[in-house]
Amino acid sequence: MRYEIIGEPMPAVICNLDSGETMISESGAMSWMSPNMEMQTTGGGAGKIFGRILSGENMFQNHYTAKGGPGMIAFASSFPGSIRAFNITPSSPIICQKRSFLASTMGIDLSIHFQKKLGSGFFGGEGFIMQKISGSGTAFIEIDGSAVDYELGAGEQMIIDTGYLVMMDATVRLDIEQIKGVKNVLFGGEGLFNTRVTGPGRIVVQTMPVANFAGLISSLIPSKS
């Protein structure tokens, strides 16, 4: 599989496949494709379907296979931002926010990832249930706004506002901390909690979480009297 990511801030990834190669995507993610791409919808068993529901994904996935020769398929982002490709190996799984998975090659496994500490899940903004991407292959992830990468050393930390963490290596630890000071909580505009991540490992943050964008738009819409 060879790919090209085009078109930011409304990007798409165009994948060129050899005959017999297959791409996996969430239902509804395909944007355009060559006529010889054959689609098959699969659930993968009750356990996997339930896991995808918990992690915020669709119940079913689509498999697209190039038949009778090379094929082409494109997957477009659902929100202005970026698409990133991650090379996944059995020793390098990643943890992502819910609904960030766009597509992947065969050999990629999607599963749910529970935060070890309940507080991190209920208050950290990234959710008690995140998404683990493992296996072997290439996975494409949607990022809201622009992507900013950091490589944290062992014990190195960063404080991140709610919703801005989109991806981290499985080696990174995620915790939450309460913002200190009554005035800071009431008037600082940053909410009650921040997310603390601790290395070693990569993290990717996004500059415009879709939830923040939706909140901004809704605040500008006049309420009906």
pLDDT digits (tens, 9 = 90+) for 145-161: 999 999 999 999 999 98
Taking only the tens place, the pLDDT of each residue in 5-33 is 999 889 999 999 999 999 999 878 899 99
In the chain, the percentage of residues whose pLDDT exceeds 90 is 56
204 vs 45, more confident = 204
Residue 75 domain-assigned (yes or no): yes
pLDDT at 28: 83
| 182 CB neighbour count, 10 Å cutoff | 8
Residue 118: inside a domain: yes
Instruction: State the pLDDT at residue 212.
Output: 77
Whether 225 is in a domain gets the answer: no
In a domain, 129, yes or no: yes
**Any idea which residue has 């992830």 for tokens?**
141
Give the CATH number for residue 84: 3.60.160.10
Residues 47-69: what's their mean pLDDT? Answer: 71
Q: How far is CA 59 from CA 54, 55, 91, 98, in A?
A: 10, 10, 27, 14
H-type alpha helices, the chain: 46-54, 118-123, 182-187, 210-220
> What is the domain extent for residue 80?
2-220
How sure is the predictor about 180, in pLDDT bands with cuts at 50, 70 and 90?
low
Provide the domain count of the chain.
1
Within a domain: 207: yes
208: helix, strand or coil? coil
pTM: predicted TM-score of the whole model, two decimal places: 0.82
How far is Cα of residue 219 from the mean position of the Cα atoms in its chain?
26
Rounded CA separation 189/199 (Å): 27
